[in-house]
Amino acid sequence: MILALDATNDPHNPDRMIEADDARRMVGELDDLVSFVKVGWALYMAGGNQVVRELVDQGKRVFLDLKFGDIDETVRRLVLVAIQQGVSFITLNAGFSAVRAAVKARGNTQLKILLVTMLTSWNEADLAEMGFTLSASEYVSFRTKGAIEAGCDGVIASGREVAEIRRIAPAGFFVVTPGIRPAGGAHDDHKRAVTPEASILAGSDYLVVGRPITTAPDPRQATIAILEEMQQAFDARSRPAP
């Protein structure tokens, strides 16, 4: 599981802008349970490279989710900075030419490059509004095939499309799934949310979980419950079919 630190907030004042100390507090509270964390734009703007460096120095794996999307040369330079910072995953939300530039810049380092297929806050009405006539599944498949051809290590995708991604992707290709919501929980702004169990059974490698943990009355207990659900799903997935 990857904990989305940028979803951390003050339960007594949810409209207060995130501060770096909010993330530090959450990391400390869940230190023994969570080893992989996500830093998105809100936290990055609040603490910048200092927060990223602190987390890496603490031995945490860091998913820098800034969805780089620019011209090839700018994306190439951003990848080089990410390598220097020691992060584990980065996201791109760019054209395939920029993706190829990022993969080339990454070289033989340990950095994993992931392409965003379709935001979990989108649905087919959003695609239509932008002029696309593809279904959500078709659009995600198109983006996945482009990511594979460009040399990406994986994609970011809703659990609803993971099974189709697994059908077309090679072995070892990562699928990282955000928009995770426990059964019965509020979906917030995720239009294509999926439970931890359903996403793992479909074939996700990593789940990104934010508000179900960070806004819970007891974040530790919420984390434990999600980890247990994930483990049960991984166990079920590994068992041979009868």
Q: Which residues are catalytic?
A: 67
Distances from the Cα of 240 to the Cα of 28, 235, 236, 237, angstroms: 39, 10, 9, 8
Q: Give CA–CA dist 159/192, Å, rounded.
A: 8
> What are the contacts of 57-61 at 24+ separation with CB within 8 A?
58/27, 59/35, 60/27, 60/35, 60/36, 61/35, 61/36, 61/37, 61/88, 61/89
User: SS3 for 215?
Assistant: coil
Handedness of CA 192, 195, 200, 202 (dihedral sign): negative
Which alpha helices (DSSP H) does 59-161 contain, by range?
A: 72-85, 96-106, 124-129, 136-150
Structural tokens at position 75: 């994306």
Q: Give CA–CA dist 58/60, Å, rounded.
A: 6
